Amino acid sequence: MRFSYKPWQKNCEEHGIQLFPVGHQKQGIVHVMGPELGLIQPGMTVVCGDSHTATHGAFGALAFGIGTSQVEHVLATQTLKQSRAKSMLINVNGKLPVGITAKDIILAIIGKIGHAGATGHVIEYAGEAIRGLSMEERMTVCNMSIEAGAKAGLVAPDEKTFAYLEGREYTPKGQDWEDAVAYWKTLYTEEGATFDTVVELEAADIAPQVTWGTNPGQVIGVNTPVPAPEDFSDPIEKESAVKALEYMGLKPGEKLANVAVNHVFIGSCTNGRIEDMRAAAQIAKRGKVADSVTAIVVPGSGNVKRQAEAEGLDKIFIDAGFEWRLPGCSMCLGMNDDKLVAGDRCASTSNRNFEGRQGRGARTHLVSPAMAAAAAITGRFADVRDYQE
C-alpha cells in the first residue's frame, strides 16, 4: 500500500490533519480505533471513504461511506451535498436467545429484507434486543447496514452510549461533558414518529446465521438446508441463486453441518473488537483447530490486540492452533497476502461474501466470531449453541 500511503502521509502533515500511521500503537481499522478513542459521538455527521462507515451509527451519529471525489469535497469545503434519505425502522423485538449474537441479528435482517432491501434509506435499529446490545455489538449491527443497501444505520444513544464514551481520549471533559450529555439525551425518535418503511423481527426466531451464496442476503440459519433456486419466486433471485450455488459449490438441500471449510478468518471492522475476540476464544478453548483448517485471528486495532493479550486470549488462540496476527483488515478483502485461492472455503467474520472477495474463486461464508471458531475446531459448520456452557 506504499503507493498511496506516502502521499497520504505528506498531505496530512501539510494540512495539519492528525494521522495514526502504520506503527502507531493506536493504529487500526478506522471503524475500530475511531470509536475506541472516543472520536465518534452522538449527533455527529461522520463520513469516510469506506462503505462500512455506517459502523459509527452505533453512537447515534449519521455516518456513511463516500467516494474519493466526495472526500475531496469534504476536505475542501467541510460540507457535502446530499439528497434526503428515506427512513426505515427495524424493530428487533424480545430478548436475544442464548448463543445468538449481533452478527446473527444483522445477517437475519439482511436475509429478511434483502441485499438491496434498504437502498436509499437510513435505518434506525430499535427494539428490546437492540437496546440489550453492548456498544461493540451495536457497531457490528450498524456496520453491515450497507450490506442491506442502506446509506447508514443508527441506534439512538442511551446510558450505555454515554458510559462507553465517558473518559475516552477525545470525548468532552468537565462542563463540556455535562453539556454534551444533556444534548445527546435529546437525540431519540419521538413516540409515534412515522417512517417510510417499518420492519419487525422477533429475536426468538433468530438462529446462528451462515451465508450460503455470494451476497449477504443469501443467508440461512445453520440448521436450515441450502435452498434451491425453485424456492425463489422472483426470477432475478432465482437466477442469482443458480449462479451462487454454482460458485459456492453447494447443492440444494445440503446440510451446512456436512460442508467442510479449510480456512477461518476472525477479524475485520465487523467483528475485530475485544468482545469478538473474547467470544471466539470462549469456543477456541474447547478444542483444537482441525488439521484440515488454517485459522487466523486478526485484531481490529493495536488497542484490541494489547487488551486481548492482557487477558491471555492470544495464548488461548495459539494453544488451540489459531494464528494470532497483527491488527488490520487482512483477509476481509484480500488486499495484502492474506488471500485465498480458487476452491478454498472460508468461514469468515467479515461482511462480504461476494465472488472473489477473499481471492479469485474462493468461497466465503459469513458467520459470527463464535461460529467461526466452532468451524475452525470442527472443520465444518457447527451450531455454536451446542457449545454453550
Partner 1 sequence: MSEQGFTQHTGIAAPLDQANVDTDQIIPKQFLTGVTRAGYGKHLFHDWRYLDLEEKEPNPAFALNKPEHKGASLLLARENFGCGSSREHAPWALADFGFKTVIATSFADIFYGNCINNQLVPVALSSEQMDALFAAVKADPATKITVDLPAQTVSFNDTSFSFDIAEHHKNNLIKGLDAIGQTLELTSAIEAFEDKQPAWL
| Binding interface with partner 1 (CB under 8 A) | 3-4, 7, 44, 49-51, 64-70, 72-73, 76-79, 81, 83, 85, 115-116, 119-120, 146, 149, 151, 172, 176-177, 179-180, 183, 215, 236-237, 239-240, 243, 333-335, 352, 354-357, 360
Residue 355 to residue 10: CA distance in whole angstroms:
35
Least distance in angstroms from the C-beta of 83 to partner 1:
5
146 vs 320 by CB, closer to partner 1? 146
Least distance in angstroms from the C-beta of 268 to partner 1:
13
76 vs 98 by CB, closer to partner 1? 76
68 vs 194 by CB, closer to partner 1? 68
Residue 345 to residue 262: CA distance in whole angstroms:
6
Residue 389 to residue 372: CA distance in whole angstroms:
18
State the cell numbers at 88: 426505515
CA distances from 193 to 43, 184, 196, 210, 372 (A): 18, 19, 10, 34, 39
Nearest to 142 by CA among 280, 42, 237: 42
Least distance in angstroms from the C-beta of 151 to partner 1:
5
Least distance in angstroms from the C-beta of 294 to partner 1:
21
Least distance in angstroms from the C-beta of 327 to partner 1:
19
**Rg for the chain (alpha carbons), in Å?**
20
101 vs 358 by CB, closer to partner 1? 358
202 vs 231 by CB, closer to partner 1? 231
204 vs 335 by CB, closer to partner 1? 335
Break the chain down into helix, strand, coil percent, rounded to 5.
Answer: 40, 15, 45
Least distance in angstroms from the C-beta of 174 to partner 1:
10
Q: Phi-psi bin for 267: left (phi > 0), alpha (psi -120 to 50), beta?
A: left
Residue 64 to residue 41: CA distance in whole angstroms:
14
Least distance in angstroms from the C-beta of 306 to partner 1:
28
Least distance in angstroms from the C-beta of 366 to partner 1:
13
69 vs 258 by CB, closer to partner 1? 69
DSSP H/E element including 244: helix 235-248
Roughly what angle, to the nearest 10 degrees, separates helices 135-143 and 102-113? Answer: 30
Nearest to 270 by CA among 295, 242, 298, 232: 298
Least distance in angstroms from the C-beta of 62 to partner 1:
14
Nearest to 57 by CA among 128, 115, 140: 140
32 vs 150 by CB, closer to partner 1? 150
Kindly give, in sequence order, each residue whose CB lies less than 8 Å from that of residue 317, ignoring residues fewer than 6 positions away.
280, 281, 284, 297, 323, 324
172 vs 252 by CB, closer to partner 1? 172
Alpha helices in 78-154 (DSSP H): 102-113, 128-131, 135-143
